[in-house]
Amino acid sequence: MLSRAALSSSRTLVPALGALGSRQKHSLPDLPYDYGALEPHINAQIMQLHHSKHHATYVNNLNVLEERYREALEKGELLEAIKRDFGSFDKFKEKLTTVSVGVQGSGWGWLGFNKEQGRLQIAACFNQDPLEGTTGLIPLLGIDVWEHAYYLQYKNVRPDYLKAIWNVINWENVTERYMACKK
C-alpha cells in the first residue's frame, strides 16, 4: 500500500511495511536441481507446474500486494504526519532507531501522539514504564529493546536488531492507532 513516490522520499513505511521501500521486487528463485531430479517419486511435470506456475503466482502476488501497500501509505495521513513532524520518513526512522539504540539496559523506543499539540513525537521509556503514564503520549508504535527481544538472534548488537525490526512493523495497526487517537 506504499507508492513508489512515498518510498523514494521515505524508503519505508510499511514492512508490514518497513522494508518495502528498500526491497527490490521479488523474483522466482531457480531450483537448485532439475525438475526431474525427484523422479520417480515426484515427476518433472508436477515440479515444473508447481515451480513455474504456482510458486511464480505467489511471488507475483506478493509484489502486487507490496505495491498496493506502498500506494496506500503514500496517500495515508500517517505518512503525511510523519513528514510534517520529522521532515521525512527516513529522518523519522533514523531518530526512532537512535533513541531506541540509546536506551540503557531494558526498555522501549516509541512513536507516540501528543494529543494537546496534535503532533507525533518519539520517546524512550526504561524498563516497564508506560509511555502514556510517563510522557502523556498515546502509543502508536513501540519497539521492544529488552535484550530478550533480540539477544538469541542478534546477540548484543542492538543496532542490527533495530535495522531488521523495520521489516516487520504492522503499519496498518500503527495507522489505525493514529486515526483513533486523532478523533
Is the pLDDT assigned to residue 11 strictly greater than 60? Answer: no
Binding residues: 50, 144, 148
User: Which residues are within 8 A (CB) of 158 and not within 5 positions of it... i.e. 6 or more apart?
Assistant: 100, 101, 145, 150
Q: Which residues pair with 125 in a beta bridge?
A: 108
Residue with cell 527516513: 90
Average pLDDT, the chain: 85
Domains of the chain: 36-182 (3.55.40.20)
> What mean pLDDT do residues 68-83 have?
79
Compute the distance between CA of residue 48 and CA of residue 85 in angstroms, rounded to an integer. 51
Q: What is the pLDDT of residue 71?
A: 66
What are the cell numbers at 105?
Answer: 539496559
CB 131 within 8 Å of CB 108: yes
Residue 2 burial (C-beta neighbours within 10 Å; 0-12, 13-18, 19+): buried
pLDDT band at 16 (very low <50, low <70, confident <90, very high): very low
Compute the distance between CA of residue 143 and CA of residue 158 in angstroms, rounded to an integer. 11
Residues of the chain above pLDDT 90, percent: 61
The separation between CA 140 and the C-alpha centre of its own chain, rounded to angstroms, equals 14
Q: What is the pLDDT of residue 17?
A: 45
Residue with cell 515440479: 47
What are the cell numbers at 141?
Answer: 508504535
CB 111 within 8 Å of CB 89: no
Output 41 or 76, whichever has higher pLDDT. Answer: 41
What is this structure's pTM?
0.62
CB 71 within 8 Å of CB 13: no
Backbone torsion region of residue 87, taken as left when φ is above 0, otherwise alpha when ψ lies between -120 and 50, otherwise beta: left
Cis ω before 40 (30° cut-off from 0): yes
Q: What is the pLDDT of residue 148?
A: 84
Lowest-confidence region among 12-16, 79-83, 139-143, 164-168: 12-16
Output 154 or 92, whichever has higher pLDDT. Answer: 92
What are the cell numbers at 113?
Answer: 501522539
Compute the distance between CA of residue 160 and CA of residue 165 in angstroms, rounded to an integer. 9
> What mean pLDDT do residues 85-92 have?
95
Q: What is the pLDDT of residue 75?
A: 66
Is the pLDDT assigned to residue 36 strictly greater than 90? Answer: yes
Binding residues for Mn(2+): 50, 144, 148
Q: Which amino acid is it at 65? A: L
> What mean pLDDT do residues 1-27 have?
49
